[in-house]
Amino acid sequence: MAKPRNRYVCQACGSEHNRWQGQCPDCAEWNTLTVESAVVTIFSARHDLSAGGRPVELVGLDSEVALPKRIGTGIDEFDRAIGGGIVPGSAMLVGGNPGIGKSTLLLQVAARLASGGHSVVYVSGEESVDQVRLRAIRLGLGEAPVQLAAATSVRDILTTVGNGAAPALLVIDSIQTMHSDLIDGAPGTVSQVRASAQELVRFAKQRGTALVLVGHVTKDGTIAGPRVLEHMVDTVLGFEGERSHQYRILRASKNRFGGTDEIGVFAMEGSGLTEVPNPSVLFLTQRGEAVSGTAVFPALEGTRPVLVEIQALVVRLASGATPRRAAVGWDSGRLAMILAVLEARCGMSFATAEVYLNVAGGYRLSDPGADLAVAAALISALSERPVPQEAVVMGEIALSGEVRPVAHGALRLKEAAKLGFERGWVPAGLEAPGGIATTRFAKLGELVEQIVAG
């Protein structure tokens, strides 16, 4: 038999190397390479694989196939994020920061399905059965017929659920605590995570059980363990939100059974996660009288508009100190760009002023269509003239100072009209729907005039 050869596997990205190094050459993380033994068998070393196999049947694309039947969980925001319900035999990976509410969400999903007559098994490798039960009681789900277990051995789990009819849903909380005895190494290492996930996914595909794996995330927000884990499952979901804010967003970053452009919005409350069917209410601050420095932008999450408030503060500095620019929920590079365009094309001077920009409610905006709303907030803050309260603002700003169109402008205006806004400040050329008036801007300078003139 060939001599086992050692290989060094990066625990952050999963890449393999022949020798140990302090820094992974692929992902540049430090101290992440650990040794794993790789056995080169005579079979893989000597045999030619191009003959001697069993022929597999090849079929055409046009053969009959039924669409996957989806099981609705009854939690609409969850179903929406995964594309319309759980697909039997599929594997889902749910990642998210510690304490964000992954276990809470999945326990609620499990309980709803179980109460709907499906068999559901919830395996916790992190908490004792009593801890999970206490959470269920706090969430008011104590009566749901979910079958609980605290276990970490994949073999034990599969033996348990493989006896008799396979459950409709199997939740594994979390994959980093699982251990496969086929492989050496502590739970949580790349090879253990990979092997455990492989076994569980194989079971799910064979028996038609929907599998949900909870995955830990690293400090930069990616799911811990090898990238390959994300390739092994059908759907990758991220559960996001600021710990200090109430709302949580469930977002798919990969989905083999549906789109990834829909989100589920929840609010974390003492009694668990509640659905938020109309997210705009969360992100619009209480609107009293008009104040300078704020503008409302109709953002789009999937097909769903979400109205968010953008706030700017401009503080004139008397001394010659370098003024600060800070942005929360908005890219600071893009803030600098908008300030530069205002400066160069519209003659507004922010040079001696500190500029702070904030997106209310802890929401994060990356849509360039929000440029015009950011500019409106900045102009309003500098000139101390409010943007009219009944207006929403959208448009992308080019370096030339032109205002560019945004995607789905009419849809955004419709949502704004539904929430009581009467006017849209929009790029020139937008076809406006009925029910809302528009003011059109072709150049950023026109916006400045509009706000300054009041």
Ligand X SMILES: Nc1ncnc2c1ncn2[C@@H]1O[C@H](COP(=O)(O)OP(=O)(O)OP(=O)(O)O)[C@@H](O)[C@H]1O
CB under 6 A: which stretch of 102-110, 140-148, 158-166, 362-370 binds ligand X?
102-110
Does position 124 interact with Mg ion (CB under 5 A)? The reply is no
Q: How far is the CB of 123 from ligand X (least distance, A)?
A: 13
Does position 108 interact with Mg ion (CB under 5 A)? The reply is no
Under rule CB under 6 A, which residues in 217-256 are in contact with ligand X?
none
Rounded to whole angstroms, how far apart are CA atoms 282 and 397? Answer: 27
Q: How far is the CB of 124 from Mg ion (least distance, A)?
A: 8
Nearer to ligand X, 52 or 98 (CB): 98
Nearer to ligand X, 102 or 112 (CB): 102
Residue (of 135, 156, 138, 154) closest to 193 by Cα position: 154
Does position 99 interact with ligand X (CB under 6 A)? The reply is yes
| Other residues' Cβ atoms within 10 Å of the Cβ of residue 178 | 25
CB under 5 A: which stretch of 30-38, 98-106, 269-277, 356-364 binds Mg ion?
98-106
Rounded to whole angstroms, how far apart are CA atoms 58 and 56? Answer: 6
Among 14, 95, 96, 401, binds ligand X (CB under 6 A): 96
354 binds, among Mg ion, ligand X, none (CB under 5 to 8 A by kind): none
Among 5, 47, 138, 316, binds ligand X (CB under 6 A): 138
Does position 85 interact with ligand X (CB under 6 A)? The reply is no
Does position 103 interact with Mg ion (CB under 5 A)? The reply is yes
Nearer to ligand X, 141 or 312 (CB): 141
Residues in a beta bridge with 396: 404
- Sign of the alpha-carbon dihedral angle for 44, 48, 50, 51: negative
When CB distances to Mg ion are compared, the closest residue is 103
Sheet strand arrangement including 16-17: 16-17, 5-10, 33-38
Q: CA triplet 72, 76, 79: central angle to 5 degrees?
A: 55
Does position 280 interact with ligand X (CB under 6 A)? The reply is no
Nearer to Mg ion, 73 or 103 (CB): 103
Does position 180 interact with Mg ion (CB under 5 A)? The reply is no
268 binds, among Mg ion, ligand X, none (CB under 5 to 8 A by kind): ligand X
Does position 55 interact with ligand X (CB under 6 A)? The reply is no
Nearer to ligand X, 110 or 335 (CB): 110
Residue ranges that bind Mg ion, judged by CB under 5 A = 103
Residue ranges that bind ligand X, judged by CB under 6 A = 96, 98-104, 126, 138, 268, 270
